[in-house]
A and B are shown apart, each in its own frame.
Chain A
Amino acid sequence: MKFSSKTFVANKKKETATLLKKSLKKHSIMRPFILVCITVFLTQSCSDLVADLNNDPNNQTASAYQTILTGAEVGNILFQTGENARRAAIFAGQYTGIDRQHLGFNQYSVTTSDFNALWNDGFNDALRNAMVAEQTAINEVVGAVTAGITQVLQAQTFGTLAALYGDVPFDQAVKEEFQNPMFEEQITVYSKTQILLDKAILNLEEGTGRPATGSDIYFDGNAQAWFENAHTLKARFYMHTKEYDKAYMAAQKGISTANNSMQGPHGSAAEDANLNYQFFAIEVRQSDLIVSNFMSGLMKPGSLTYRGNSKTNESGRNNFYFTTNSIGVQPNITNGYAAQSAPSAMITYQENLLILAEAGYRANGFDTGLAHLNNFRAYMNAGGYLTNTNASNILYDAYSTADFVAGGIENTDSIGTEEALLREILEERYITLFGQVEVFNDIRRTENETIVRVPVLPNVGAVLPQRFIYPQSEIDRNNNAPNPIPDLFDKTPINK
């Protein structure tokens, strides 16, 4: 294009002239108003453009009750059989921590933040999911059995939390409207847990509304199994509160067969393996935590404190539980207790049998206790819950009264006959419930029964730990958290 200075200048002049001319007109004040009108028009379209766009396409915002139920049950496995149980068993003298954090736990040197994760496991992974599962199942009108299952799961978590921490939130726990849930007294939590279990039992008795297949990973919705577990749980918590006659009654409706034991299923993938397997075999914590000399001494044939006798051969059970390596005695990670896909015990037939024995003895006397103990021994003599032993390593002949009389094989130190029976039952519980939270509960519950209790001694100092301490996370974030917080050695109310 040929440039012409004439047109260029002409254009410039014209521009100037136009601007001069037009700007003199008196629209000035009206102009903004015209634009304001456009504004109003545009405002309308503004919010429509951005609506409904913030729904995360990568994540679901709702879930069916089945998958929540599964999540709750997996969370429950973690809470009941993971570090929570291991730490309880350290305090109960079954494990010895020899390095890193577990050395500290072994020395009873704990800080509030050591319990952050455990508290979280209980409230977030187990309890919250069970409650959401219940609510979702109600919304979806699934039916009574499903509701009952979710209630048993909640009660199981509440009871365990109350046993370990004492006062915990109950009514205000996991409710959106309570950002600072009130803590309730331990005994109240227990009684409300019993009520919750009663509700669950009513639901389970209805027999309808089983969860869709595959979603209940413990019993696949078998209402009878859940019914029995609810009763064993009731019995367990009555044991905690020392209401032995109620415990005995509840246990009679409790788990009636090994098949109905509540156990966490495990597999061979990296992240569904037995948690003790993952802890000892994969996370190489064998150098941090070993089985205590006290525990292995009871079980190891030939040791000074071996609990076997002419009617009892524990070598099969010892092989199921333990192996020995260069560091010390370890849980059996190959084919026993802590094998990769070994089911992890939460509420078992064997526990129910032993509740019957102890509560039966305490409620109805020696004969009832002995009869039930012999039922347990008969079960064990047939292999019991052991999965890797041959019959030649097992012997659990029935005890007779004579065995408990002074000088008998179960009373070589000549205490009272009845006491000898109770002592054997308590020791049997200590062995049978190895590695579970329940042994810590037993140790604390029976601490004052000096003759019959399992004689666990403190690792340091003169007293045994009495509880888990409240976590730093709860102290920081919940205005209603107890203040001052009880010490590790302060007994919870039920054990005072």
Chain B
Amino acid sequence: MKFITKTLFFFFLFSFQMIQAQVTITGKVTDSQGTPIPGVSIIESNAENGATTDFDGFYTIVLKTATPSLSFRYLGYKGITILVDAKKEINVTMIEDSVNLDEIVVTALGFNKKKDNLGYASSTVKGGAVTKSGEANVLNALSGKSSGVRISRSSGDPGAGSFIQIRGLSSITRSSQPLIVLDGIPISNDVRGNSDRGGVSQQSRLNDINPNDIETLTVLKGAAAAALWGTQALGGVINITTKTGKYNSKLSVSLKTTYSLDKINVRYPVQTKFGQGDNGIYNQRARDSWGDLISDRTGGNDDFNTSGDFYAGQNGRVYYPVVNKNSQSLFNDSNFDQVFGDGYFLENNLSLSGGTAKSTMFFSLSDLNQKGIVKKNSDYRRSTVRFNAKTNFTEATSLKTSATYTRTASNRIRLGANSSGLYLGLLRNPVDFDISGYRGDYYASDDSAPIPNRHRSYREPLGADATATYNNPLWTINEQENKAKVDRFITNFEFMTAPTSWLRFIARAGVDHYSETKSEFITPGSASGAFTAGYIDQSTASNTMFNSDFIAKTTFNYKESVDGSFLVGFNYNSKSRNVNGVEGSGFIQFLDIASGIRDIDNTLIENTVVGSSFGQERTAGLYSSLSFSVFDMFYVDSTIRAENASTFGENSDKPFVFPSTSLAWQFSQLDIFKESTILSFGKLRASYAEVGVQPARYNTSNIFVSPSYSDSLGGSLNSGLFGNGSFVPSTNRGNVALRPERKKEFELGTDLRFFKNKLSIGFTYFGNTTEDVLLNFPVANSTGYSSIYTNGAAIENKGIELDLGYKIFTTNEFSWSVNANFTAVKNEVTDLAGAESLNLGGLSAVSSRAVEGEALGVLWGSRTLRNDDGSIVYDAYGFPEQDQLEGVIGDPNPDWQGGLSNTLKYKNFRLSVLVETYQGADIYAGTKSVMRDLGTWYDTGNQETADRNYFESNGNIINIGETFRGNIADFGAGPVALTESWYNGEGGFFGGGNDELYIEDGSWTRIREITLSYVWKSDWLKNATKLKSIEFSATGRNLVLWTNFEGNDPDTNLSGVSAARGIDYFNNPGTKSYLFSATFNL
């Protein structure tokens, strides 16, 4: 009845107006690039009259009032109202409204919601910001852009993965990495084969995504935002949506070419005054550089003994034993330049998009070809193709699909604590040893037969022995390769149908499949024992993840005041991985890298190890969500997920339930604020939620293994070689009562905007506690076992997040905006089930650990002996004594971190600068510790003249007036002389170094990125080339770094992509880049 009344009313109204006026206005609506916008609503003010632009952006409207104005509206663009004023043609250029777009948040299930209506914090990064960062990898591009999120790098190696941490570490043995959801489907972000102290930098699988395909990237920081993913959401969720075409748009083609020039970021400072040797005497086989003063040498050529053994290097030079070291030549720069150079990458990206009234499509091709700063065997190439499409079959039924294929190929250099690592060999190398001539033939005497393919290093200058002790860095880059090839397919489908107006069914299914083939090859002769006789390792991992969701969604309302939606869904997730490989050492025939042959049969059969493993797990979850608003002022979201997974123990209380609820109160809707010119928007929010992480698969049962019992300090007995073979229970027990770890989080916050939205402030306080944290709990051996996998520990995080935005100027010609974010998180392991400490990884001297009452990941090592009152205990000479017990020596977690970005636009120019800072984090300067020990660190080249008598650490006295090599320092008990004896002892790394002395401030501030871009569009360009526009941009990435840490970018990690952090030990260097790109839009 109501409907009929309304219709009649309008009928009469229209009839009346039609008599009044008959003026027709025409025109065209375009965007800032001149592209027509179809479907723009044109509404005549004060009249029930409207029109819409057609496919080419044209419209016609017949006016109905006498002094009309027209308003133009289109989602995502700023509305414009124009007075007609006797005009017959009105052409309009609509400006994109970035504020409005920012307000859309992609929720856990992939639905769009207005940020203003949410009761939890989240951050959205636009695709453009990801590509403008100049990072080849999606993850690194997030750095500094969002509060609550920490991106930590492992090294500057091409393709190296990064560690993401949202709102603090929450797990000890399980991953705290966020779940990555791509277009509604979780995808893998595996890091395979990460080593905590050596090996190569591994990739994160997220890097397989082409950053240019990303439309938006939403970080759901809190548990409340992520709770619908249950046990997959402990570390939060990162929602990535990829680009789509626009409805009713012509084909748009974009070609982007980027060239990046990469340079080493920081170099370790070395001393150039003293030669190889010890105690001030040159020795050409010494480990240390505590040798003679090079300037005291006579100069000229060295005296050689040419009567005995010699070495003929691959560089054509012959090396003899040095009798007298006369040469004053220094090789630090030439050695360095033989290993490091400029890196680069070239990226080409082509995308096509468009759409009709019922369907859209997006297609892209990309290729990134990167060569690292290490001159050989360090590269990364990623090629991707993507096709996204959506079709609306009917009003109520649609199908969306996105598919991508990625191929990556990489080659990486060994780093860290292994004598075949790159920096280890280079930074320990004395300044007076030339590394060229790394491979060659050794002759015991003039008339003896050559021993070919010997490895020459500074500790083995003639290659007389088969072991080089430490690799010559040229050997490392030329004779060791570590390749990985990945083929990856990710395909998603989403089918939507609405059988009735109030009910929608959504079905999603996606497969993420990759295979990774790793191939490592080391020419016989490398320094590490395992590689000396040649090494080959080949393995293929095949990983599949299938995920499907079935969602039924409905909307409801009650009277006028309550609006809401309700959904139930079912989630099924299955993961499986198969790894097959073979590893061999001890080559039968000599083969090197250059031969190209990777024949596993060339290794001794008893040294060939075949590995094969298969694993799978499944999760089934049932979830429901209820959202409603009251008076457009209160917004409530509640979700619940019940989950069952194959990894849960049989005796656990399955299924597990993860609830969440959040409340947003837009108090600015109150009458008293409605007219306010100061407060434009105000919201208070609060939420509580629980999420979790599953136990590792295959830990619910006790298994039988065929052990190799190792004899303490001796060999081992492989029980499989006795009798008919053996199987006994594993000393690590399974657990039928395994539960997921459970993180409980509450968050309180506010979002405020002032002065017509010019100033915006977001503030969040959160606290979370993870209970039932899984660990391999050590049990007494008298029980017959060593450990049991169990839920037992607890971890707590508390923190604040602050986001500020200020639009300083906004005019059509010029705009300037500033955004800042600040995060401080305090972490504590509140319960470790009685275990003293659990090792997360690192060196044997210094490791990152979980210790009750301390932040997770604290650094653990040897330390200075202190009295009960905390004062240092000194020895008789004034040096600090060392504690016999190891303990906590540092905390690698920062006190706070922040980002500050400035964006200036003037006409077609755009300049943006992002500054990022990371404050109050400790780092263990392991490289420095070793270099001081060996006498290669720059300050060990100092010479001091004693202005009084000084003790050395060994009790020797340096008399006043004497000049000595070393430094003067005061540990608190008066000045002492730090000399070779100190650095070789507790002041260094080897010989019982006091690790606490090398805990340093790892804080840094950097200009993370600076970009200048110009969009060129003109009629001439369009007529001459048909190009709509060309955008040029220049980006500097990581150009300026302020830090007290010496030698490397402190954003580095020995343990790679891991929760164990804060150790620098011959890590590969970080990089900075200069990028230039041109984008052609057709």
Contacts and interface: CB of A to CB of B under 8 A. Distances in A.
A375 B455 CA distance: 61
A32 interface: yes
Given A59-B704, A124-B784, A70 B719 contact: yes
Contacts of B613: 58
Contacts of A5: 38, 51-55, 59
Given A62-B704, A265-B722, A267-B721, A132 B714 contact: no
Interface in A48-85: 49-63, 66-68, 70-75, 77-78, 82-83
A174 B782 contact: yes
Interface stretch (A185-193, A270-278, A301-309): A270-278
Contact of B704 (A61, A117, A273): A61
Given A61-B704, A128-B729, A3 B712 contact: no
A66 B727 CA distance: 9
Nearest to B711: A82
Interface stretch (B111-119, B259-267, B638-646): B638-646
B654 interface: yes
Contacts of B617: 53-54
A283 B715 contact: yes
Given A46-B655, A61-B703, A215-B724, A181 B714 contact: no
Contacts of B646: 50-54
Contact of A42 (B38, B567, B622): B622
B726 A67 contact: yes
Given A4-B54, A74-B719, A42 B570 contact: yes
Contacts of B500: 22
Given A15-B395, A123-B782, A8 B52 contact: yes
A74 B566 CA distance: 63
Contacts of B612: 58
Interface string B830-855: 00000110000000000000000000
B572 A49 contact: yes
A279 B715 contact: yes
Nearest to A471: B781
A432 interface: no
Interface string B692-723: 00000111111111111111111111110111
B554 A68 contact: no
Interface residues of B, number: 96
Contacts of B614: 57-58
B1015 interface: no
Nearest to A476: B836
Interface in B514-573: 552, 554-558, 566-568, 570, 572
Given A39-B624, A70-B725, A124-B785, A63 B704 contact: yes
A117 B503 CA distance: 65
Contacts of A168: 782
A39 B569 CA distance: 8
Identify which of B557, B698, B714 gathers the most chain A CB atoms within 10 Å of its CB.
Answer: B714
B39 interface: yes
Contact of B717 (A32, A36, A43, A272): A272
A68 B728 contact: yes
Interface in B850-873: none
Nearest to B611: A58
A341 to B, nearest CB: 12
A75 B719 contact: yes
A77 B613 CA distance: 30
Contact of A70 (B566, B654, B722, B784): B722
Given A61-B702, A123-B781, A478-B780, A132 B728 contact: yes
B16 interface: no
Given A15-B395, A39-B568, A125-B709, A272 B644 contact: no
Contacts of A481: 780
A121 interface: yes
Contact of A46 (B52, B555, B622, B723): B622
B654 A83 contact: no
A124 B784 CA distance: 5
Contact of A54 (B552, B698, B712): B698
A477 B780 contact: yes
Contacts of B729: 63, 128-129, 132
Given A278-B715, A279-B715, A46 B709 contact: no
B696 to A, nearest CB: 10
Contacts of B714: 82-83, 86, 275, 278-279, 283, 285
A178 B626 CA distance: 48
A181 B557 contact: no
B52 A50 contact: no
A121 B718 contact: no
Contacts of A54: 617, 646-647, 697-701
Given A32-B554, A38-B568, A67-B726, A124 B786 contact: yes
B97 to A, nearest CB: 20
Contact of A217 (B619, B711, B722, B780): B722
A225 B53 CA distance: 101
A215 B501 contact: no
A117 B731 CA distance: 13
Interface in B352-380: 356-358
Nearest to B552: A35
Contact of A118 (B555, B701, B712): B712
A474 B782 contact: yes
A272 B722 contact: yes
Interface stretch (A23-31, A349-357, A439-447): A23-31
A496 interface: no
A1 interface: yes
A22 B502 contact: yes
A277 B716 CA distance: 11
Nearest to B572: A49
A460 interface: no
Nearest to A275: B711
B371 to A, nearest CB: 39
A463 interface: no
Interface in B653-670: 654-655
A214 interface: yes
Nearest to A161: B782
Given A123-B784, A269-B721, A75 B620 contact: no
A119 B784 CA distance: 10
Nearest to A266: B717
B616 interface: yes
B533 to A, nearest CB: 14
A169 B728 contact: no
Contacts of B357: 1, 3, 7-8
Contact of B779 (A21, A28, A179): A179
A310 interface: no
B718 A272 contact: yes
A292 interface: no
Interface in B709-754: 709-719, 721-731
A138 to B, nearest CB: 16
B715 A3 contact: no
A60 B704 contact: yes
Contacts of A474: 780-782
B615 A58 contact: yes
B723 A478 contact: no
A478 B782 CA distance: 8
B618 interface: yes
Identify which of B53, B647, B724 gathers the most chain A CB atoms within 10 Å of its CB.
Answer: B724
A269 B606 contact: yes
Contact of A55 (B395, B502, B701): B701
A71 B721 CA distance: 10
B43 to A, nearest CB: 12
Given A39-B568, A57-B614, 11 more contacts: A5-B51, A59-B704, A71-B707, A74-B717, A77-B717, A83-B714, A123-B784, A127-B784, A132-B784, A269-B721, A283-B714
17 contacts: A39-B622, A46-B620, A46-B621, A50-B620, A53-B616, A53-B646, A54-B700, A59-B703, A59-B704, A60-B703, A61-B703, A63-B704, A119-B782, A123-B783, A176-B783, A271-B715, A473-B778
